[in-house]
Chain A
């Protein structure tokens, strides 16, 4: 009861924070980085499909563009894995895992989908990775008591992302 009352007052007045931080208290973690990286992977697969679909000769220009798409896909799939590992290892604490027991399984799923997105051009796997990251973002923001919303990213491939509703 008191906590509810104080929460309401906090929203109105805004109490000062007393930080009980660990490590260097920079505290800057945001799942939007891997979410955007995962969208980039989907976008690269779309561009690769589009280029291949154009037909024509596989000349230098084709190889140049295709190589660049593959490179960006590789980099961003790896970025997904790296960023999620940091949040998982540095931010998520036992108390969070206790509340979200599927978090470990979810992180493992993201790692697997990240690897598959590097190894293949499976668009469905990349889309699944975006969705798994949405799930991850949902948990992340819930641990911070920040409400979320789902909205289409305002750029291709225009998939839905979970955003903090600030």
Chain B
């Protein structure tokens, strides 16, 4: 239900940076209640475990359009919507790397 992950890459900088840690929670009602702006962790068949920000959800709430904050981020602008079933957690705690 809870997972600690280490952030790599900078597509969510300056909010999230390389070396930060996040605590993600996967509780069904939390995932079903995702909103734009939430930061989520999900599995992608090609890219593995990714962390991105929710831009919007499909009308039925079954798919999520995710984005990074950097313009060259690999996200839904490139690989399309992700299925809500692939969301492995919503970030509820962000532990910044000192000086990062």
Chain A residues with a Cβ under 8 A of chain B: 2-3, 6-7, 9-10, 15-25, 27, 93, 95, 143-145
CA distance A16 to B6 in the complex (A): 6
Question: Cβ of B72: which chain A residues have Cβ within 8 Å of it?
Answer: 22-23
Shortest distance in angstroms between B47's beta carbon and chain A's nearest beta carbon? 6
Q: Are A2 and B12 in contact (CB under 8 A)?
A: no
Query: What's the interface size class on B, roughly?
Result: 35 or more
What is the number of contacts between chain A and chain B, taking CB atoms within 8 Å? 90
- Contact indicator per residue, chain B 66-89, by CB within 8 Å of chain A (1) or not (0): 001010111000000000000000
Asked if residues B95 and A20 are in contact (CB atoms below 8 Å), the reply is: no
Residue of A at shortest CB range from B74?
A21
Interface pair B98/A3, CB less than 8 Å apart: yes
The answer, yes or no, to whether B5 is at the interface (CB within 8 Å) is yes
A95 to B9, CA, bound (A): 12
Assembly CA distance A122 to B58 (angstroms): 64
A3, chain B: closest CB distance, angstroms? 5
| Chain B hits for A22, CB < 8 A | 9-11, 68, 70, 72-74
Q: Tell me whether A95 and B13 are in contact in the complex, defined as CB-CB below 8 angstroms, given that A15-B5, A18-B6 are known contacts.
A: yes
Q: Which residue of A lies closest to B19 (CB)?
A: A145
**CB-CB under 8 A for A18 and B41, given A3-B21, A3-B97, A6-B21:** yes
Residues of A within 8 A of B96 (CB): 3
Residue from the list A7, A10, A19, A24 in contact with B50, Cβ < 8 A = A19
A3 to B93 CA separation, bound complex (whole angstroms): 12
A21 to B5, CA, bound (A): 15
CB <8 Å contact, B10 and A17: no
Indicate if the CB atoms of B50 and A18 lie closer than 8 Å: yes
A10–B6 contact, CB under 8 A? yes
Report the minimal beta-carbon distance from A145 to chain B, rounded to whole angstroms. Answer: 6
Q: Which of A2, A3, A19 contacts B51 (CB 8 A)?
A: A19
With contacts A2-B95, A95-B17 known, is A21 near B11, CB below 8 A?
Answer: yes
Return the 7 tightest CB-CB contacts between A and B, nearest first.
Answer: A18-B51, A20-B9, A21-B9, A18-B5, A20-B11, A6-B21, A22-B72
